[in-house]
């Protein structure tokens, strides 16, 4: 009897979770609590299905494509913005980079190595690796997308708990482009880097 009393709420809970999951968006499953409409998921965890592409909306009104979702770890990975061809400007520079609404249950996880490009000298004061052997130099030299940033002052850093977990800031006169790697391992070659910005959500209960 005790076992049944324990099991029934557990089963009901599992069932309601499945019922309120959202339909797939393109090839991606949309697991609870993520929500693509008012009729599924938890509305605080809003994501957008735009023409078969699942997207995350920043506080600045920019949509970032969601590449993958791990519901068990409460994590998703979005695609970093493009660096515009023949420039060292990220496509979200005009919106000051990536910004998360602090009232939403998402933050930037500590599993990201961020690279900033075309930075001004005053950035050297912060705890970043802007040395000539920083991995951002490899991105400038070996990756086509980074070629417009070649020769600029660049820095890399682990987005860890010592940093704000709600933004990657860009501005003219600061740094004007960025990219990010998830699951970075110093032994990886440049061609095997995994680009992405990993976000984490607070479980709904």
Ligand X SMILES: *[C@@H]1O[C@H](CO)[C@@H](O)[C@H](O)[C@H]1NC(C)=O
| List of residues contacting ligand X (CB under 6 A) | 51-52, 87-89, 107, 118, 129, 131, 133-135, 148, 161, 165, 172-173, 176, 186, 200, 202
Complex with ligand X: residue 15 or 73, whichever CB lies closer: 73
Q: State the Cα–Cα distance between residues 90 and 32, nearest whole angstrom.
A: 32
CB of 77 to ligand X, least distance (A): 15
Complex with ligand X: residue 54 or 135, whichever CB lies closer: 135
Per residue in 110-130, is it b (16+ CB within 10 Å) or e — as a string?
A: ebbbbbbbbbeeeeeeeebeb
CB of 30 to ligand X, least distance (A): 18
Contact 149, 117 (CB under 8 A): yes
CB of 14 to ligand X, least distance (A): 22
Q: Give how far Cα 112 sits from Cα of 8, 65, 138, Å.
A: 40, 17, 17
Token pair, residue 179, equals: 């990219």
Complex with ligand X: residue 2 or 187, whichever CB lies closer: 187
Complex with ligand X: residue 40 or 123, whichever CB lies closer: 123
């Amino acid at each position: 009897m005790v076992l049944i009393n324990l099991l029934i709420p557990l089963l009901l809970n599992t069932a309601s979770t499945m019922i309120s999951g959202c339909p797939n968006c393109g090839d991606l499953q949309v697991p609870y609590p993520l929500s693509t409409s008012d009729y599924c998921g938890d509305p605080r965890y809003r994501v957008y299905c735009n023409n078969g592409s699942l997207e995350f909306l920043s506080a600045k009104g920019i949509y970032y494509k969601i590449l993958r979702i791990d519901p068990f770890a409460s994590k998703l990975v979005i695609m970093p913005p493009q660096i515009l061809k023949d420039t060292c400007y990220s496509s979200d520079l005009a919106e000051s980079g990536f910004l998360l609404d602090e009232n939403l249950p998402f933050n930037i996880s500590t599993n990201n190595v961020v690279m900033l490009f075309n930075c001004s000298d005053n950035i050297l004061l912060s705890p970043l690796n802007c040395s000539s052997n920083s991995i951002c130099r490899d991105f400038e030299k070996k990756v086509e997308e980074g070629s417009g940033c070649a020769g600029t002052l660049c820095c890399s850093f682990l987005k860890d708990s010592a940093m704000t977990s709600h933004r990657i800031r860009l501005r003219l006169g600061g740094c004007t482009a960025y990219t990010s790697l998830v699951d970075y391992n110093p032994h990886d070659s440049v061609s095997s880097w995994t680009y992405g910005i990993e976000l984490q959500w607070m479980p709904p209960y």
